[in-house]
Chains A and B, each alone.
Chain A
Amino acid sequence: MRRFAPHGRVGAVLLALLLALTGVAAQAEPPADPARIVYHINVDDPAHHLNALQYLQSHFEAVGPDGLRARVVLHGGGIHLLDYAHDNVELRGLVDVLKLQGVEFRLCGNTMESRGVRLDELYDAEPGDRVPSGLAELMRLQREGYTYIKP
């Protein structure tokens, strides 16, 4: 768990980096060095969705909200997770709780187009959540150092 200890030289370098970044850009990242995880959900099955989000929540409970930076890419059948979240209280609760811990849900634009899903049909979805391609997003996040998990 050495990556969670932002002290010594690591802390100094990161702090300096942060100062430099915040000076230039509002979207600079927080100073801690949390684990980065991206979940890939592409199955149309609310039971699977519930399990997947529960895994992620367990991970948060294990390391604390500052120990983890997580993204969930909804792609293919996975896009319907935010459909089910309207009526499925448990699922909706998990989505809410995860978002409170900084989790961002990314919606595959190709999937929404091919399946005819509109943004306003999806629970708590905003235009910024939509990405052109779910797979390209998974690529991009992995390139940035996110560990890929297919629950």
Chain B
Amino acid sequence: MADKRVNAQDDRPSEELLNAFVDGEFSPEDRLETLKRISCSEHLSREVCDMHQLKELVNMAYRDVRSPRDGGRPGPSGRRSWFPSVAAGMLALVLGSLAGFELTRDADFLAGAPATDDAAATLADGNGLSEAAVSQPVAAADADNVLLHVNEADATAMAELLDDIEAMYREAEAAGRDLNVQVVVHNSAMDMLRADRAPHPERVAALTLDHPSLRFTACAQTLEQLARAEGGSIEILPQAERVDSGVAEAARRQSEGWIYIKV
């Protein structure tokens, strides 16, 4: 490791070193040294940013899933004895019969989902499980919160994304569900929200006017990078807002229980 560090100082940090940095495996001194070197290089900081992003996304993808039906499943401690489970099973059978009709509507598009959550909540209550296990899905049933993460898109993809957002609101309306959509734009998709380059500014304006719960947010770090590269500051569309970091925003929203979709 020490050899690698010395070698790296001659030129640029090795791939391995950068990965270790992103994974937080450095001592404070090493970290400071590497940070200094990264901040000196535009290319390097972008690379580290990408690594961070990849790491976040991998973490998100493999994080434990919470599902409405998990509400009906006890934790590992519940496996210790068989007999209480028979009683629970019988109770579930009765409640399940009642809920069955509701659950089958699950196959119907959006409209079925609230019924599923209600049924799961009923089952869980019937089993005497802790409320904590079901409180999240039930709360989530009140409104859909969706984060659309865009970091590379050409004009066609941007137009399709706007079509998609329109369709999502149309369907949410038809199903009588509230919908919050936040579009997080960073890296090479930034044109979408740039005042001087946006391919469909009038559609962004119309959509935000029609749907107050729709937010377009631009990564401030990307904007700063672009500003440094081009000289001068980058203006974004009046409907768009700045967020400190696109990746951080995506991570924050996910930890708040938002649905994540990478466009």
* Distance of A145 from chain B, by nearest CB (Å): 2
Please determine whether A139 and B96 come into contact, CB atoms closer than 8 angstroms.
no
* B residues 94-136 touching A (CB-CB < 8 Å): 94-97, 99-101, 103-104, 106-107, 109-110, 113, 116, 123, 127
Q: How many A-B residue pairs have CB under 8 A?
A: 155
Which bucket holds chain A's interface residue count?
A: 35 or more
Binding site for A on B (CB under 8 A): 57, 61-63, 65-70, 72-74, 76, 78-80, 82, 84-86, 88-90, 92-97, 99-101, 103-104, 106-107, 109-110, 113, 116, 123, 127, 140, 144, 146, 148, 157, 160, 163-165, 167-168, 171-172, 259-263
Q: CB of A86 within 8 A of chain B? A: no
Q: CB of A9 within 8 A of chain B? A: yes
A 126-144 binary contact with B (CB < 8 Å = 1; else 0):
0000011111101110111
Q: Take A23-B100, A110-B164, A131-B109 as given contacts and tell me if A145 and B92 are in contact as well, using a CB distance cutoff of 8 Å.
A: no
Please determine whether A13 and B92 come into contact, CB atoms closer than 8 angstroms.
yes
Please determine whether A9 and B79 come into contact, CB atoms closer than 8 angstroms.
yes
Please determine whether A143 and B109 come into contact, CB atoms closer than 8 angstroms.
no
6 pairs across A/B with beta carbons < 8 Å? A9-B78, A9-B79, A17-B92, A24-B100, A132-B167, A144-B113
Q: Take A7-B79, A145-B67 as given contacts and tell me if A19 and B93 are in contact as well, using a CB distance cutoff of 8 Å.
A: yes
CA distance A24 to B171 in the complex (A): 28
Chain A residues with CB under 8 A of B68? 143-145
* Distance of A46 from chain B, by nearest CB (Å): 18
Q: CB of A10 within 8 A of chain B? A: yes
CA distance A24 to B260 in the complex (A): 33
Chain A residues with CB under 8 A of B86? 12
Q: CB of A148 within 8 A of chain B? A: yes
Q: Take A12-B88, A148-B61, A148-B260 as given contacts and tell me if A143 and B144 are in contact as well, using a CB distance cutoff of 8 Å.
A: yes
Q: CB of A76 within 8 A of chain B? A: yes
Please determine whether B73 and A33 come into contact, CB atoms closer than 8 angstroms.
yes
